[in-house]
């Protein structure tokens, strides 16, 4: 099996579609960020799913970025780097939530609770050091990266502009939801973001198919021209 640019682009498209839909699903099945949840199998399962989603989202946005790297320019590069770092951060945190937090839930329950509650807006009792800055850093990368990425999608005019607009909307409503809604409802602000990522993945796949059809048509027309010339 030969690995081509087309194969990698197709893989990135499906990675983005899966990641986006998984990101939506997680918001509806995520257990409460509390000590009682940490030692349960649903907690582990959800964060393994979230870890997988973050890794595949990174693969997906990389393919989306490379498809239109020339049109994206500097603004697009900045947005890709910001979103990329966010998904790296998310994957690392989800891995720790899935495999480390349950282990310390018995021996250090307060530490485990404070760690799991970092993004749940619970006031930490334990001194978490530099980890306490994760929510703010993550918010800047997520909101800023998504906003600029959506703008770059629209400016590039390669993939779906509707998906770019939806990503911008998701970026704008996230801090508003965080300020006005309880954490359980705040999660729903991630739904349009997941849909935007999945939509971009589909757009990348559709663009690949369109280019393949156009290439076949061009090859067929060139053969006809050659035959007519003979």
Q: Give residue-wise pLDDT tens across range 141-192.
A: 999 999 999 999 999 999 999 999 999 999 999 999 888 888 778 889 999 9
Per-residue H/E/C for the chain: CCCCHHHHHHHHHHHHHHHHHHHHHHHHHCCCCCHHHHCCHHHHHHHHHHHHHHHHHHHHHHHHHHHCHHHHHHHHHHHHHHHHHHHHHHHHHHHHHHHCHHHHHHHCHHHHHHHHCCCCCCCCCCCCHHHHHHHHHHHHHHHHHHHHHHHHHHHHCCCCHHHHHHHHHHHHHHHHHHHHCCHHHHHHHHHHHHHHHHHHHHHHHHHHHHHHHHHHHHHHHHHHHHHHHC
Ranked by mean pLDDT, the top range of 75-84, 100-109, 133-142, 212-221 is 75-84
pLDDT at residue 218, as a whole number: 52
pLDDT at residue 153, as a whole number: 97
Which tokens is 62 given? Answer: 């990389």
pLDDT at residue 1, as a whole number: 56
Confidence of residue 217 (pLDDT cuts 50, 70, 90): low
The number of residues in the chain equals 230
Confidence of residue 215 (pLDDT cuts 50, 70, 90): very low
């Amino acid at each position: 099996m030969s690995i081509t640019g087309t194969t990698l682009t197709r893989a990135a498209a499906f990675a983005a579609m899966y990641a986006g839909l998984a990101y939506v699903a997680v918001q509806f099945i995520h257990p409460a960020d509390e000590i009682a949840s940490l030692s349960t199998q649903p907690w582990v399962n959800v964060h393994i799913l979230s870890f997988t989603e973050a890794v595949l989202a990174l693969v997906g946005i990389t393919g989306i970025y490379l498809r239109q790297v020339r049109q994206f320019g500097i603004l697009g590069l900045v947005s890709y780097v910001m979103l990329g770092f966010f998904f790296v951060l998310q994957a690392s945190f989800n891995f720790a939530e899935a495999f480390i937090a349950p282990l310390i839930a018995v021996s250090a329950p307060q530490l485990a609770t404070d760690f799991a509650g970092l993004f749940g807006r619970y006031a930490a009792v334990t001194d978490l050091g530099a980890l306490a800055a994760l929510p703010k850093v993550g918010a800047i990368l997520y909101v800023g990266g998504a906003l600029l990425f959506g703008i770059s999608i629209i400016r590039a005019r390669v993939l779906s502009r509707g998906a770019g607009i939806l990503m911008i909307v998701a970026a704008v409503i996230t801090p508003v939801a965080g300020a006005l809604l309880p954490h359980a409802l705040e999660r729903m602000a991630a739904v349009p973001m997941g849909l935007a990522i999945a939509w971009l993945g589909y757009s990348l796949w559709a663009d690949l198919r369109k280019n393949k059809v156009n290439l076949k048509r061009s090859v067929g027309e060139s053969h006809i021209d050659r035959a007519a010339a003979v």
